Amino acid sequence: MENYIINYNTGITEEVSVADLQEAKEIAKAGINYTQQNITIESLNGEEITTARWCGVRPSEEDEVLEIIGGGFYQTWSDDLGE
């Protein structure tokens, strides 16, 4: 099992013990709310592993979209984008 911290950057974090990073991403996606904040998945020592960035506009056809919510969207996880 791997341990990660899902940080919704609203003062709320969630420590998860999962099989892999993909499972942590699925848990984080299920917890998405309209906060207008980036969501990060971090190691237990606070190292940022990947980020779903908040974009406060409607997505274009070129955008890599994780989830549309409210008047904006969360971009696909940064490590999936090669960042």
The pLDDT assigned to 62 comes to: 96
Look at the pTM and tell me if it is higher than 0.75: yes
List residues bridging with 65 in a β-sheet: 75
What tens digit of pLDDT does each residue of 21-47 get? 999 999 999 999 999 999 999 999 999
Instruction: Report the half-sphere exposure of 12 (CA within 13 A, side-chain side).
Output: 10
Quote the CA–CA distance of 35 and 44 in Å, as a whole number.
23
